[in-house]
C-alpha cells in the first residue's frame, strides 16, 4: 500500500510459466490469466524473479540519466560492486572517470562511506549487550525478507545507516561545499547492482535522506563500456576494505575481529534466519546476510558472472590501501530508527478469525496432491490452500482435483447412460447385484466421491 516497487512485469514477454512463482522467497507471485502478477505487499524486490525468468519478463524500473537534468550539480554514487563490471577493461580511476562523461559532475564512492559505516558498526558491537546475533541492514532485500517472513527478528537488525544513504549525505555536503549551491540543487544518484536498492532509495525514511535517484547498472552498462577508452581519470578515495563490501564476506572483513558470519544467496539467508529464530547462532556477534549469490557482485542487475566479478573486484582493488586513515566526518548521527515488521503473510487481522482460516487452510491442503507443481498459478499446494482460504482461488484450480471431479462426473454419466426405461429393461439386468432403480445409481457414486479426497495416495 503506497509502497514503491522497482520489480515489474513486462506483460508482453510473460508466457505465464511458473518459474518465478516457485523461486520467490516471499511467495509474492501468482500466475493469473496467463501472466505472473506480483502481490505488492509481499514483494521485497530481491530480484530472484528477474534472475530466473527465462523470457526476461521481470524487470527493474529505476531512474534514467534524464533524471540528472533536475539538478544543477550531479554526483554519482557507484556501489562498491559497480567497478567489478568493468575491471580488466580499464583501471579504477578511468572506470570512475567514465561516469564524468555521462553527465555527472563528481563521483562519491559508496565504498568510502562503507568504511565509515564499518567503523561505526565496530563501535556499536563493542557496546552491544542485547540479543545476538545482530544482522546487517546493508542488503535491503534481506531487511525486507525479515520484515515479511521473520518479523520477530526485526529488533536484531543493526540500527545504523547503510553505506548508500551515508554516501548520499556525504556527497551532498561535499557538493554544497564545492559549489556554494543550496543542498536541493545537488543531485545524488546511486548506481545500483540490484532492484532492492532501487526500492530502498525510494522509500521515505526517518533519520537520513537517501540518494535523490537510483540508476540500475544495466541501464548504463553499455554507455560506460563504450567510454572507458577515452575516459578522464578520477582518483579513488576509498580503500580496499570499503570496496570489499561489493562481495560476500567483505563487509565482515572491514568490520573485523569477533565472530562474524557471512551468508549469501537468499535461500541460504532464509536457512540462517530460520535457525536464528530457533535460538541458534547466539554465539555469533554479527551476520552479514546478502540476498544475491556472491554478494552485490551477483546483483540481479549486474551483467558479469558473479564469481568472475568477485575476482575482478579483488584484483582491481588489490593495489589500494586497506582503508582510509582519515575517514570523512559522518556529519551527524549514524543511528537509524528500528525496522518495523510488514505482516503481509498474516491470514487475518483478528486472531480468532485467522486461526479459523488456518484450520481451513490445513484441511484444504490435506485434500491437495502435494506435488507443488504450480499449474494452479500458486507456488505450491500450501500456497493454493492459502489462496483458497483468502477467497482468491478455488480447489478446482488444481488440475488433479479438477480431474478427479471430472472422473466422478463421467462415472455418473456412464451409469445414467446404462439406465433404460422400465418398458425396455432386460429381465437379467437385475441379477448381478445391481438394482435397476434410482437408488442403485446413488449407491454407486458414493465410493467414487469417497475416494476423491485422497489423490495423493
Partner 1 sequence: MNEARPPLELTIPVRAWDFLAGGDGAARVRQVLQQVGFPPAVIRRVAIATYEAEMNIVIHSQGGELKAQITPAVITIIARDTGPGIPDIDLAMQEGYSTAPREIQEMGFGAGMGLPNIRRCADELAIDSMPGKGTVIKIVIYNR
Instruction: Give the residue with the Cβ less far from partner 1, 353 or 396.
Output: 353
Q: Which of 1, 325, 349, 424 binds partner 1 (CB under 8 A)?
A: 349
Instruction: Give the residue with the Cβ less far from partner 1, 237 or 360.
Output: 360
Binding mask 189-218 for partner 1 (x = CB under 8 A): ------------------------------
Q: Which of 126, 129, 130, 278 binds partner 1 (CB under 8 A)?
A: 278
The region of 172-180, 260-268, 350-358, 364-372 touching partner 1 under the rule CB under 8 A is 350-358
Q: Which of 70, 355, 366, 414 binds partner 1 (CB under 8 A)?
A: 355
Instruction: Give the residue with the Cβ less far from partner 1, 156 or 290.
Output: 156
Instruction: Give the residue with the Cβ less far from partner 1, 37 or 360.
Output: 360
Size of the site for partner 1 (CB under 8 A): 20
For 8, counting Cβ atoms within 10 Å of its Cβ (0-12 exposed, 13-18 middle, 19+ buried), the class is middle
Instruction: Give the residue with the Cβ less far from partner 1, 261 or 358.
Output: 358
Q: Which of 354, 371, 436, 441 binds partner 1 (CB under 8 A)?
A: 354
Position 261 contacts partner 1 (CB under 8 A): no
C-alpha cell of residue 384 = 493454493
CA-to-CA dists, residue 265 to 47, 51, 83, 203, angstroms: 11, 12, 21, 24
Q: Does residue 214 contact residue 197 with C-beta atoms inside 8 Å? A: yes
Which residues, 6+ apart, have CB-to-CB distance to 90 below 8 Å? 98, 228, 229, 231
Q: Does residue 102 contact residue 220 with C-beta atoms inside 8 Å? A: yes
Position 343 contacts partner 1 (CB under 8 A): yes
Position 366 contacts partner 1 (CB under 8 A): no
For 158, counting Cβ atoms within 10 Å of its Cβ (0-12 exposed, 13-18 middle, 19+ buried), the class is buried
Binding mask 377-406 for partner 1 (x = CB under 8 A): ------------------------------
Q: Which of 348, 395, 411, 434 binds partner 1 (CB under 8 A)?
A: 348
Radius of gyration over alpha carbons of the chain, in Å? Answer: 29
Instruction: Give the residue with the Cβ less far from partner 1, 335 or 351.
Output: 351
- Cβ neighbours of 431 (radius 10 Å): 8
Q: Which of 69, 362, 443, 451 binds partner 1 (CB under 8 A)?
A: 362
Kindly state the smallest distance separating residue 386's Cβ from partner 1, in Å. 8
What size, in residues, is the chain? 457
- Cβ neighbours of 447 (radius 10 Å): 10
Position 426 contacts partner 1 (CB under 8 A): no
Instruction: Give the residue with the Cβ less far from partner 1, 93 or 356.
Output: 356
Closest CA to 76 of 167, 173, 4: 167
What is the three-class DSSP state of 445?
A: helix
For 271, counting Cβ atoms within 10 Å of its Cβ (0-12 exposed, 13-18 middle, 19+ buried), the class is exposed
Kindly state the smallest distance separating residue 352's Cβ from partner 1, in Å. 5
Binding mask 279-298 for partner 1 (x = CB under 8 A): x-------------------
Kindly state the smallest distance separating residue 114's Cβ from partner 1, in Å. 31
DSSP letters spanning 40-83? TTT-----HHHHH-TT--EEE----GGGGGG-SEEEEEE-GGGG
Q: Which helix (H) or strand (E) holds 360?
A: helix 351-367
Kindly state the smallest distance separating residue 46's Cβ from partner 1, in Å. 20
Identify the residue whose cell numbers are 446413488: 442
The region of 116-124, 273-281, 331-339, 424-432 touching partner 1 under the rule CB under 8 A is 273-281
C-alpha 285 chain-centroid distance: 25
Q: Which of 322, 358, 408, 436 binds partner 1 (CB under 8 A)?
A: 358
CA-to-CA dists, residue 180 to 118, 167, 174, 209, 295, angstroms: 30, 19, 10, 20, 38
Instruction: Give the residue with the Cβ less far from partner 1, 70 or 346.
Output: 346
Tell which positions 136-155 bind partner 1, by CB under 8 A: 151-152
The DSSP bridge partners found for residue 74 are 187
Tell how strand 106-107 and strand 186-192 pair up: unpaired
The region of 63-71, 81-89, 313-321, 355-363 touching partner 1 under the rule CB under 8 A is 355-363
What is the three-class DSSP state of 448?
A: helix
The region of 13-21, 161-169, 193-201, 346-354 touching partner 1 under the rule CB under 8 A is 346-354
Kindly state the smallest distance separating residue 431's Cβ from partner 1, in Å. 47
Helices (H) and strands (E) in the chain, counts: 16, 11
Contacts with partner 1, residue ranges (CB under 8 A): 151-152, 274, 277-279, 343, 345-349, 351-352, 354-356, 358-359, 362
Amino acid at each position: 500500500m503506497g509502497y514503491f516497487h522497482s520489480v515489474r512485469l513486462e506483460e508482453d514477454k510473460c508466457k505465464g510459466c511458473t518459474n518465478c512463482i516457485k523461486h520467490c522467497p516471499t511467495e509474492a507471485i501468482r500466475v493469473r490469466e496467463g501472466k505472473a502478477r506480483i502481490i505488492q505487499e509481499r514483494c521485497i524486490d530481491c530480484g530472484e524473479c528477474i534472475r530466473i525468468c527465462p523470457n526476461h519478463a521481470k524487470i527493474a524500473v529505476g531512474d534514467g540519466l534524464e533524471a540528472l537534468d533536475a539538478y544543477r550539480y550531479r554526483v554519482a554514487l557507484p556501489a562498491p560492486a559497480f567497478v567489478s563490471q568493468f575491471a580488466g577493461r580499464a583501471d579504477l580511476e578511468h572506470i570512475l572517470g567514465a561516469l564524468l562523461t555521462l553527465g555527472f559532475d563528481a563521483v562519491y564512492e559508496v565504498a568510502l562511506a562503507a568504511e565509515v559505516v564499518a567503523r561505526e558498526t565496530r563501535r556499536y558491537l563493542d557496546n552491544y549487550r542485547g540479543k545476538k546475533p545482530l544482522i546487517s541492514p546493508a542488503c535491503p532485500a534481506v531487511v525486507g525478507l525479515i520484515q515479511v517472513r521473520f518479523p520477530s527478528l526485526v529488533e536484531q537488525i543493526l540500527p545504523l545507516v547503510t553505506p548508500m544513504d551515508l554516501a548520499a549525505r556525504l556527497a551532498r555536503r561535499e557538493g554544497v561545499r564545492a559549489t556554494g549551491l543550496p543542498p536541493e540543487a545537488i543531485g545524488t544518484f546511486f548506481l545500483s547492482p540490484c532492484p532492492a536498492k532501487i526500492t530502498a532509495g525510494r522509500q521515505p525514511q526517518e533519520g537520513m535522506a537517501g540518494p535523490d535517484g537510483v540508476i540500475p547498472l544495466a541501464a548504463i552498462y553499455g554507455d560506460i563500456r563504450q567510454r572507458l577508452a577515452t575516459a578522464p581519470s578520477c582518483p579513488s578515495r576509498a580503500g580496499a576494505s570499503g570496496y570489499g563490501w561489493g562481495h560476500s564476506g567483505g563487509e565482515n572483513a572491514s568490520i573485523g575481529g569477533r565472530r562474524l558470519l557471512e551468508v549469501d544467496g537468499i535461500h541460504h539467508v532464509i536457512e540462517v534466519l530460520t535457525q536464528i529464530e530457533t535460538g541458534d547462532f547466539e554465539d555469533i556477534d554479527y551476520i552479514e546476510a546478502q540476498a544475491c549469490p556472491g554478494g552485490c557482485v551477483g546483483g540481479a542487475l549486474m551483467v558479469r558472472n558473479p564469481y568472475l566479478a568477485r575476482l575482478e573486484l579483488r584484483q582491481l582493488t588489490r593495489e589500494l590501501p586497506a582503508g582510509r586513515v582519515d575517514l570523512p566526518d559522518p556529519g551527524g548521527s549514524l543511528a537509524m530508527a528500528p525496522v518495523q515488521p510488514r505482516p503481509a503473510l498474516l491470514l487475518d487481522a483478528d486472531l480468532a478469525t485467522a486461526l479459523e482460516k488456518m484450520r481451513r487452510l490445513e484441511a484444504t491442503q490435506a485434500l491437495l496432491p502435494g506435488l507443488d507443481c504450480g499449474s494452479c498459478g500458486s507456488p505450491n499446494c500450501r500456497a493454493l490452500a492459502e489462496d483458497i482460504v483468502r477467497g482468491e482461488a478455488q480447489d478446482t484450480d488444481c488440475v488433479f482435483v479438477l480431474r478427479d471431479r471430472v472422473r466422478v462426473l463421467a462415472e455418473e454419466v456412464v451409469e445414467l447412460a446404462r439406465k433404460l426405461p422400465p418398458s425396455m429393461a432386460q429381465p437379467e439386468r437385475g441379477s448381478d447385484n445391481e438394482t435397476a432403480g434410482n437408488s442403485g445409481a446413488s449407491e454407486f457414486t458414493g465410493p467414487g466421491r469417497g475416494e476423491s479426497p485422497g489423490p495423493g495416495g
